[in-house]
Amino acid sequence: MNGNTVLDIQGLSGGYSLNRPVLHDISFQVNPGEMVGLIGLNGAGKSTTMKHILGLMNPQKGEIRVQGKKREEDSETYHGSLAFVPESPLLYEEMTVREHLEFTARAYNVTRGDYEERADRLARIFRMQDKMDSLSTHLSKGMRQKVMIMCAFVARPSLYIIDEPFLGLDPLGIRSLLDFMVELKEGGSSILLSSHILSTIENYCDRFIVLHQGKVIAQGTLQDIAVQAGTNGAGLEDMFYTLVQGRD
């Protein structure tokens, strides 16, 4: 294992029942300042992999380390090193947008000054200034998704796990998110991003992991994937299509 690796997954097998694992011997790493795209068909195991990283599911085999630490060794440091943006927004109905950000900042031990500065900036970037004091129940789906993204970004951990973040976002929201992710990446943060919008993430991710039926069938840079798919010069979508076609 590389000493600087932010996320290190080795030989991960797991799922909802012992007899029927969903993930089979998955291994990959995410390094500092790297944005890695996790791609696969519906049911390929992307969300299950993320749930294992978040500690919501326990591996049947293999291990997961975040910043060199396993969850069992130091749960607080482990969880403090990562932030998650789920596919569907999960908000507290009884809290306003601002309160969600404040709760996150408190939990992640972000100082009050940093929180205020980040919250203001995020509200501006995601055009949520007018909604900061609205209860989450009064927000549209896209706005709720923005709150999820803002919460993750207010925490500023070393690793972001982002599951299908573009769903429900308007075009400006998507652009703001991509720009912000690039900024975080350049600042040294790592991002594991799952998305079906391959044409978008193709230009932003440094590496890709292609999951199919719970197995890693290809991984590496765009060039590496092209070699593994045998489709030189094609876009990510074509490479992906070639890789998964005929494997069912």
Partner 1 sequence: MMDLTKLRAERRSRFWGKEVLPYIGYVIQSGVAVLLLFMLIAFAAWYTSLVQHIPTGLPIRWIMLIIFVPLTVNSSFRTYLQPADIVFLLPQESNMNRYFNASWISGVVYKLLGLALVFLISWPLYVRSDEHPKNFWLFLLVLIALKLLASYGCWKELRMVSRRASMAYRFLRYVILALFLAAWLWQPAGRSVIFMVLLAATYFAALRIPAKHLVAWERLIAQEKIQSGRVLMILGWFVSVSGRQQRIYSRKWLSWAGNRTPWKPQTAYRYLLMKSFVRSDILGIVLRAGILGALLVWWNRSGMLGIGIYLFFVFVVGVQLTSLLRYHSESFWLHVYPIPPGSRRINAIGLAFQIQLLFAVLMWLPLLEAGVAQLGSVFMTLAGGVILCLLFRYFAGRKKTIDDDDE
Asked if 80 touches partner 1 (CB under 8 A), the answer is: yes
Beta bridge partner(s), residue 194: 38, 163
94-123 burial, b if ≥16 CB within 10 A, otherwise e?
Answer: ebbbbebbbebbeebebeeeebeebbeebb
Asked if 99 touches partner 1 (CB under 8 A), the answer is: yes
Asked if 58 touches partner 1 (CB under 8 A), the answer is: no
Instruction: Give the end-to-end CA distance of the chain in Å, rounded to a whole number.
Output: 32
Q: Which pairing describes strands 207-212 and 215-220: parallel, antiparallel, or unpaired?
A: antiparallel
# chain residues binding partner 1, by CB under 8 A: 30
Asked if 137 touches partner 1 (CB under 8 A), the answer is: yes
Least separation in angstroms between CB 56 and partner 1: 6
Chain-centroid distance, C-alpha 213? 20
Closest CB to partner 1 among 26 and 154?
A: 154
Helices (H), the chain: 46-54, 75-80, 97-107, 112-125, 141-155, 171-186, 198-201, 222-229, 236-244
- The residue from 4, 58, 92, 129 that contacts partner 1 (CB under 8 A) is 92
Asked if 247 touches partner 1 (CB under 8 A), the answer is: no
Asked if 56 touches partner 1 (CB under 8 A), the answer is: yes
Identify residues 154-173 at the interface with partner 1 (CB under 8 A). Answer: none
Beta bridge partner(s), residue 73: none
- Which of these segments, 85-93, 119-127, 199-207, 218-226, binds partner 1 (CB under 8 A)? 85-93
Report the distance separating Cα 244 and Cα 205, nearest Å.
20
Asked if 133 touches partner 1 (CB under 8 A), the answer is: yes
Report the distance separating Cα 183 and Cα 8, nearest Å.
23
Residue where the block lists tokens 């290809």: 218
Least separation in angstroms between CB 94 and partner 1: 4
CB 12 within 8 A of CB 52: yes
Asked if 103 touches partner 1 (CB under 8 A), the answer is: yes
Asked if 79 touches partner 1 (CB under 8 A), the answer is: yes
- The residue from 90, 114, 175, 230 that contacts partner 1 (CB under 8 A) is 90
- The residue from 95, 167, 197, 234 that contacts partner 1 (CB under 8 A) is 95
- The residue from 96, 158, 194, 195 that contacts partner 1 (CB under 8 A) is 96
Which stretches of the chain bind partner 1, using CB under 8 A?
54-56, 75-80, 84, 86, 90, 92-96, 99, 102-104, 106-109, 111-112, 133, 135, 137
